[in-house]
Structure 1
Amino acid sequence: MKHACPEAMLFDLDGTLFQTETLLLPAYDSAFEQLNREGTYTKGTPPKELILSSLGMLLEHIWARVLPDADEQVRRRADELLLREQVEGLKRGDGVFYPGVEQTLRTLHAKGVKLFVASNGLEQYVKDVIRLKGLGELFTGLYSAGEYETRSKVDLVKILLERHDIKSAWMVGDRSSDVEAGKNNGLPVVGCKYAQFGKDSELEGADMIITDFAKLLELVE
């Protein structure tokens, strides 16, 4: 079923636009090697499944799951190193978008849809992924929990909508936090079911489901 094209689309980043593991996993290994070398954390690299299944959460919740036995100082250092390694990786050309993302975004932009990112990630990470991958000119704004210090994506999306005076928008994402952010702000939600980071129940309540990013174009008139 086709729907009227909204004024704006708000996209989650990790697991929705960006195939995060293609950048994250090499950076994760490097960060823990460095933590071990400097003696900050010497218990080895926690299972990668822990961080992959935590994507979309706020950073403090991610590190509480990945390093439950470490104190705040160790978690902050791990966070710092992981960001550094991911930025270095981006500069080397690591990391890819999901198939169809770039072309679909370019088509939506050409139709006059305002494009935004709304992510629970760090400001530098979110901006660098979009900028260093060459899609910066397509987006009206890049919103992150890191920059706006929001406690939930609901608040982040509310700030974005108010700041740009947006009357109609869709929330597009792969996690329950995206569904919640859309629903609590009165937006239709498109659930992306191709990353497989979350539980099967993640997208309960989404208005539309896509299993391929390019299918987004089929939903709009």
Structure 2
Amino acid sequence: MREKWEKPEAILFDMDGTLFQTETLLIPVHERLFDRLRQDGLFEGDTPSVEIMLSSLGMLLAHIWERVMPGAGAEVHKRADDLLLELEIEGLRRGEGELYAGVRETLEALSGMGIRLFVASNGLPEYVKEIVEVKGLSPYIEESYTAGEYQTATKADLVRLLLDKHNIRHAWMVGDRSSDVEAGHANGLKVVGCAYAGFGKEDELANADRTIASLNELELWLTGDE
């Protein structure tokens, strides 16, 4: 029998691979981005595999470009930053990109229990907030925190800032990458690992306190229906 967890004051969610099915937006955007870089004369050759990009999700953007375009300089990485954001926002506003099944319903249920809900993401602030807005999550998400907005060096620092700002003492961290596990534990939080995205390594969530195969399991735990 699983250990019963006390209802948290707040739940902090990662975005990519946790609430948002990133590949449904990133795969078409990835191809467009490298087409634009080639048009700008900043990139030559074949488009790097999108799998490298997907496996890097959860990292800071600067580290992602080091993996995707290791030989490119700061100018190229900066242009890629700008293009990625521009193309992702365009795609979201066209209706591209999908939430995981049951996300909106689960957030509504958790919010209805009086649990405060936040996003803590290494993504760009405009991108994360656009997802929250266009995908109908703004009634449930109290605030979104991103490394890009607060210039935090690690996810643990971002989570600490969020907790301190809102005077939260008892929370869960929910995410799909080892950086989410580390950020939660560094701040004394219970960590729920999302095992449904499949972007990371096999042992990515080995140190999570629990893992889930779909987000609605959170509601089931809290209502005693699991």
Fold agreement, TM-score > 0.5:
yes
Shift of 1:3: 1.9
- The residue that corresponds to 1:19 in the other structure is 21
- SS of 1:189's partner is strand
Judge conservation of contact 2:104–2:136 (CA < 8 Å) in 1. no
Counting only pairs closer than 5 Å after superposition, residues 43-54 of structure 1 correspond to structure 2 as 43-54=45-56
SS at match of 1:186: coil
User: Matched residues in 2 for 1:66 and 1:52: separation?
Assistant: 10
CA shift for structure 1 position 44: 2.4
Query: Among 62, 65, 69, which residue is 1:63 paired with?
Result: 65
Out of 177, 180, 194, the residue aligned to residue 178 of structure 1 is 180
The alignment's TM-score, normalised by the length of structure 1, stands at 0.98
Following TM superposition, by how much is the alpha carbon of 1:173 offset from its aligned partner in structure 2, in angstroms? 0.3
Matched residue SS, 1:190: strand
Offset of residue 41 of structure 1 = 0.8
CA deviation string 1:58-82 (max 9, x = no partner): 1111000000011110011112111
Matches of 1:57 and 1:4, distance apart in 2: 30
Q: What is the deviation of 1:117?
A: 0.2
Matched with 2:217 is 215
Q: Distance in 2 between matches of 1:74 and 1:148?
A: 23
List aligned pairs for 1:1-221, cutoff 5 A.
1=2, 2-221=4-223
Q: Identity rate of aligned residues, in percent?
A: 54
Per-residue deviation at 1:201? 1.0
Q: Cα deviation per residue 1:124-175 (whole Å; 9 max; x = unaligned)?
A: 1111111111111211110000000000000000000000000110000000
Q: Secondary structure at 2:182's aligned position in 1? A: helix
- The aligned length equals 221
* Maintained 8 Å contact 1:36/1:44: no
**Which TM-score applies when normalising by structure 2?**
0.96
Decide whether the 8 Å contact of 1:121 with 1:145 is kept in 2. Answer: yes
Root-mean-square deviation (CA), in Å?
A: 0.9
Describe the superposition over 1:162-208 as per-residue Cα deviations: whole angstroms up to 9, x where unpaired: 00000110000000000000000000000000000000111121111
Which stretch of structure 1 is more off in the superposition, 169-178 or 70-79?
70-79
The code of the aligned residue for 1:5 comes to: K
Aligned-partner residue type, residue 54 of structure 1: S
Higher relative helix content = 1
Unaligned runs of at least 5 residues, structure 1: none
State the 1:219 CA deviation.
2.0
The answer to whether the Cα contact below 8 Å between 2:12 and 2:171 also exists between their aligned partners in 1 is: yes
Provide the C-alpha distance between the structure 2 equivalents of 1:145 and 1:119, rounded to a whole number of angstroms. Answer: 7
Cα distance, 1:111 vs structure 2: 0.8
- Secondary structure at the residue paired with 1:171? strand
Separation of aligned partners in 2, 1:79 and 1:140 = 27
Structure 1 runs of 4+ with >2 Å offset: none
Q: Is 1:126–1:142's contact at 8 Å kept on the other side of the alignment?
A: yes
